[in-house]
Amino acid sequence: MQSFDYGHAADIGEALANGDAPNTVFLAGGTELLNWLRLGVAKPARVIDLARLKGFADITRLPGGGLRIGALARLNDVALNDDVARDYPVLSQAILKSASAQLRNLATIGGNPLQKTRCGYFRAEETLPCNKRKLGSGCSALKGINDKHAIFGWSEACVATQPSDPATALSALDALYVTEHKDGGRRIKAEDLHTLPGDTPHIDNALRDGELIVGIELGGAARHSAYLKLRERESYEFAIVSAAVALDLEGDRILRARIALGSVAHKPWRLNQAECALSGAAANDTAAIRRALDASLVGAKTLAHNAYKVRLAKNAAERAIRLAAARTW
Amino acid sequence: MEFRSHLTVALRVNGRSYEVPVDTRTTLLDLLREHLELTGTKKGCNFGECGACTVHLNGRRVNGCMILAASVEGAEVTTIEGLAEDGKLHPVQQAFIDHDAFQCGFCTPGQVMSAVALIREGHARSAAEIREWMSGNLCRCSSYPQILSAVEAAASQATGG
């Protein structure tokens, strides 16, 4: 690990004032940053620890029915919060299926969506061709082992996926990431936080240097929502495919469906076409749901080893819709 | 704000106060093992994947390898060495012996620390819940059934049946 200078930000102003200096990174939960440092994925000169910032881990109701979650809230504290568990089960479930109990006691809700891909070539301890690690070095996964890689939105430069479960749930909830920057903050729609690789695969998200996620805002309660994660073992593993679904129901009829797939692209992947097709459908009309999902997945582009993920994604979405509809309140 | 490449961390470990000079790259795990010679906490993967380094930080279980020592200034840490009281094993430690819940023993300190926290969190309500909330601790000897039995027994003792 390369050496670095370390300091505690006493308050948000101090963090932002120093955050956009060259080779400077923020430290929140640390469960990603420490591995980046070990692998050489990040080689910062300065680390700004955010642990002493006050009031950034609170979960508060918003006027009008939404919820604001402080970015420094630990994952377990978010998932087990009564309001989150009751009103946004998709988020609570996604978090509890992430990582392990110990890691969730450290990792924060603001940091988790900024984790990088789990692509084995990217995370290799010995440096392999990877355009994320070194732009222009090539993509080892494109013609290599790519069974876990993207089926949507990839480019010749990068076929990696974004693995965050919470980010997938937040996408289905149309959450807003609230940011601060010394030149002013903004609200970033969940669908706009992560970027597609294109010819800039080294860029993961829309955040500027020194821009810090300070909170996440959720709209009205999404009690008919659910998260389904498919993986090779039952716990403590990244998804092959996941599905986050939030339904607005009137009786058995779907007024609005929001469906996001995880681990299929460089960002949580909304199935907009299926969402439109399901508006007005009966929640138990399996044929209509399958038709809508089929049409939405036609655009999938598979690699040598991952064609199975298309079927898996479709079935995961169908089951997640059933789970979301079945939640009774 | 002040940036440093070396600093002194004041913390409490198993009820004792320490002031430890460290390089900023030092993790809590390395501080415990290399500076305080508390080698009960194990270094398995050093990537947050195995749970062998599980300790309690301000009462919550965490991976010692995923925390910079510099971050734990003022914290209260409990390691496996701090569980026994007056020479008497903690009930979870005793349950691991009674249920043969280890073979090579390398993951055991992390398993025990995790189990103590899990029981305190109230996540021992069923076998499935224990398995789920213990999943952050890998055992390469695969003593999982015995570990489950030990945690179930310790949990029922803690709740009086």
pLDDT in tens, A48-69: 999 999 999 999 999 999 999 9
Residue pair B53/B43 in contact (Cβ under 8 Å)? The answer is yes
Tell me whether residues B63 and A48 touch, CB distance under 8 A: no
Considering only CB atoms, B61 lies closest to which of A1, A7, A105, namely A105
Cβ atoms within 10 Å, residue A134: 12
- A95 inside 8 A of chain B by CB: no
Nearest-by-CA chain A residue for B5: A5
Task: Report helix, strand or coil for B95.
Answer: helix
Tell me whether residues A48 and B71 touch, CB distance under 8 A: no
pLDDT at residue B160 in the model: 67
| B23 chain-A contacts, CB cut-off 8 A | 3
Strands (E), chain A: 5-8, 24-27, 46-49, 59-61, 67-70, 176-180, 186-189, 212-218, 225-230, 241-250, 253-262, 269-270
Residue pair A231/A208 in contact (Cβ under 8 Å)? The answer is no
Which H or E run includes B9?
strand B6-13
pLDDT at residue A102 in the model: 98
A27: CB partners within 8 A, 6+ apart: A33, A47, A48, A49, A50, A51, B68, B71
Nearest-by-CA chain B residue for A97: B132
C-alpha B93/C-alpha B150 separation (Å) is 9
Tell me whether residues A100 and B7 touch, CB distance under 8 A: no
pTM, whole model, 2 decimals? 0.98
Tokens encoding A185? 């903050």
pLDDT at residue A327 in the model: 74
pLDDT at residue A329 in the model: 52
Nearest C-alpha neighbor of A115 from the set A12, A300, A263: A263
Nearest C-alpha neighbor of A172 from the set A283, A231, A90: A90
pLDDT at residue B158 in the model: 82
C-alpha A157/C-alpha A136 separation (Å) is 8
pLDDT at residue A25 in the model: 98
| Distance, CA of A229 to chain centre | 13
C-alpha A155/C-alpha A55 separation (Å) is 41
C-alpha A268/C-alpha A260 separation (Å) is 6
Beta bridge partners of A155: A158
Task: Report helix, strand or coil for B46.
Answer: coil
In three state form, how does the secondary structure of B57-91 look? ECCEEEEHHHCEHHHHCCCEEECHHHCCECCECCH
User: Could you tell me where the DSSP H helices lie in chain B?
Assistant: 28-30, 91-98, 108-121, 127-133, 144-158
For residue B137, is it left (φ>0), alpha (ψ between -120 and 50) or beta? beta
- A120 inside 8 A of chain B by CB: no
pLDDT at residue B161 in the model: 56
pLDDT at residue B159 in the model: 75
User: Could you tell me where the DSSP H helices lie in chain A?
Assistant: 12-19, 33-39, 75-79, 82-87, 89-96, 101-104, 165-172, 190-193, 272-278, 286-297, 308-326
Residue pair B151/B124 in contact (Cβ under 8 Å)? The answer is yes
ipTM over 0.90: yes
**Regions in chain A scoring below 70 on pLDDT:** 328-329
**Regions in chain B scoring below 50 on pLDDT:** none
Tokens encoding A136? 């222009």
| Distance, CA of A184 to chain centre | 24
DSSP label of A194: B
